[in-house]
Copies of this chain bind each other. A is one copy, B any other.
Amino acid sequence: MFLADCQARLAFDLLAPTWNAVVVCALRHGPRRPGELRAEIGGISPKVLTETLRRLEANGLVARRAYAEAPPRVEYELTELGQTLLGPIQAVGKWALDHAEDVLAAQDRWEESLETSS
Contact = CB atoms under 8 A, between A and B. Distances in A.
A107 B58 contact: yes
A21 B10 CA distance: 12
B93 A92 contact: no
Contacts of A67: none
A84 B95 contact: yes
Interface residues on A, range: 35 or more
Given A22-B2, A41-B3, A59 B97 contact: no
Given A81-B102, A85-B99, 20 more contacts: A1-B25, A1-B90, A2-B26, A3-B40, A5-B43, A7-B97, A8-B92, A9-B22, A10-B103, A12-B15, A12-B16, A14-B103, A58-B107, A59-B107, A60-B107, A60-B109, A81-B99, A88-B92, A88-B94, A88-B95
